[in-house]
Amino acid sequence: MDKKNICLKIPVIALVLGFMLVGSVGAQTDNRINGTWFLYEDETELEYRFTNGNYEIIISGLMMERGTYTTNNNNVLTLNPTHIHGTFGSLLIEIFGLKSSAFESRWYTKNEFILILIPVLSEIGITESQINDIVSELISSESMIYPYSVDGNTLIITKPEDKSVIILTKK
């Protein structure tokens, strides 16, 4: 992967990581967000698939994450990631400059993903403290609230940490 592609994918991965830092609250879903939503930016397509309380995140055709979601009457979206795809692990390892077959092209539970990632990062000289920081940034049990709105074929999600807005279009 050349440096340009890595630079383009890092912001998208950061966005995915932001969504991975969530838990689950409540048990209802908003049928308006069912479907496939996408954002195309800097030659990278970010796709969300919402289906009656389940979701998947795909980046440029690569499966990244899946889990469950809930909404409430105040237009608050809560994502609860349950699985991480091996392509996401391979991409992370590649960003560190490695070629590794540690991750297969399949879904891993969060714990399975961590158990594979830790030794790979250790092999390249990342300290235990740095690994713990990386893992805690990738996978957290903290709940995070995402205010959202739906206007026709547009889904607008607000990231609470910096109030930035993600505008997705329905396919």
Tell me whether residue 108 is in a domain.
yes
Structural domain harbouring 15: 8-170
CATH number, position 48: 2.40.128.50
22 closest CA partner among 95, 116, 113, 110: 110
Provide the pairing of β-strand 107-109 with 165-170: unpaired
Q: What is the mean pLDDT of residues 3-31?
A: 53
Classify residue 112: in a domain, yes or no.
yes
Using a 10 angstrom Cβ sphere, with 0-12 exposed, 13-18 middle and 19 or more buried, the burial of residue 162 is exposed
2 falls within a domain: no
Whether the per-residue pLDDT at 16 is higher than 60: the answer is: no
Q: Pick the closest to residue 135 from 151, 120, 154, 152 (CA basis).
A: 120
Residue 38 inside a domain? The answer is yes
pTM over 0.75, yes/no: yes
pLDDT band for position 13 (50/70/90)?
low
**154 inside domain:** yes
pLDDT above 60 for 88: yes
With a cut of 70, say whether residue 19 has pLDDT above it: no
Confidence at 142, pLDDT banded by 50, 70, 90:
low
Highest mean pLDDT among 7-11, 73-77, 92-96, 139-143: 73-77
The predicted pLDDT at position 99 comes to 77
Task: Answer yes or no: is pLDDT of 3 > 60.
Answer: no
| Residue 23 pLDDT > 70 | no
Reported as a single tens digit per residue, the pLDDT across 33-54 is: 999 999 998 999 999 999 999 9
Number of domains in the chain: 1
* Winning range, highest mean pLDDT, from 32-36, 117-121, 138-142: 32-36
